[in-house]
Amino acid sequence: MGTKVRNLRMTQTKRSLIKAFVNLVNEKDFEKITIADLTEGAQVNRATFYAHFNDKYELLDYIVGDSASTAIVNRTKGEVKFDQEGIAQLVLALCDFYQQPNINCRRSYVALVVPQLKDKAIKELNAYLLKGLESLCSKNEIALYTPIFAQMIHESAFQWATGNIALDKEEIAKKVALLVVNGFRSSVSSLS
């Protein structure tokens, strides 16, 4: 069988498993979902499931997958800029990221999925910010600022996504970008 056909089949199988998972999430708690439930819903056999994923946790991780990275690339067009527009786009990317999961989460999923989403988002923000700060400050300063800014950006988007902030996401993005960039400039100039 050709590689192209094999890859297409793998993609279709993964889509079927994801669809089955999303359908099951709306019906039962994660802990009660079995591999048999998933394979029945996807109309594949157990061996096929295990050819793609080790367990349902790996399937969930795959679903969360690269969505943070994709959201950031979509908003920033792949350009790494540490300025007000670049930071605003990061906030908006995280807002997009938190809107993406197509799962109407039952309460039991919040404790399971939200930490996983946060970890993925923070990891991607750190990678972006490391590149953006490279030419602007020393390695020690980068090590200080990167996790702080990543947390600020993440928290603002998360607060918006959970409805804890009554501002629209564009306004939040502008305010956070102003705070991050001006705070950075002020801090760097006071160290000089």
Residue at 20: amino acid letter: A
45-68: average pLDDT: 86
N residues, the chain: 192
Average pLDDT (78-103) is 87
- Mean of per-residue pLDDT scores for the chain: 86
Do 117 and 53 sit in the same domain of this protein?
A: no
The per-residue pLDDT for 100 is 66
State the pTM of this model.
0.74
Number of domains observed in the structure of the chain: 2
Whether 52 and 73 map to the same domain: the answer is no
Please give the residue range of the domain that contains residue 108: 65-191
Task: Report which of residues 116 and 171 the model is more confident about.
Answer: 171
128 plus 177 within the same structural domain: yes
φ, ψ for residue 181 (rounded to 5)?
-70, -45
| Per-residue confidence band for 103, with pLDDT thresholds at 50, 70 and 90 | very low
Which CATH number goes with the domain that contains 50? 1.10.10.60
Which residues contact residue 6 at a Cβ distance below 8 angstroms, ignoring those fewer than 6 apart? none
**55 alpha carbon, distance to own chain's centre:** 21
pLDDT, one tens digit per residue, over 5-23 is: 455 566 789 989 989 988 8
Comparing 126 with 28, the larger pLDDT belongs to 126
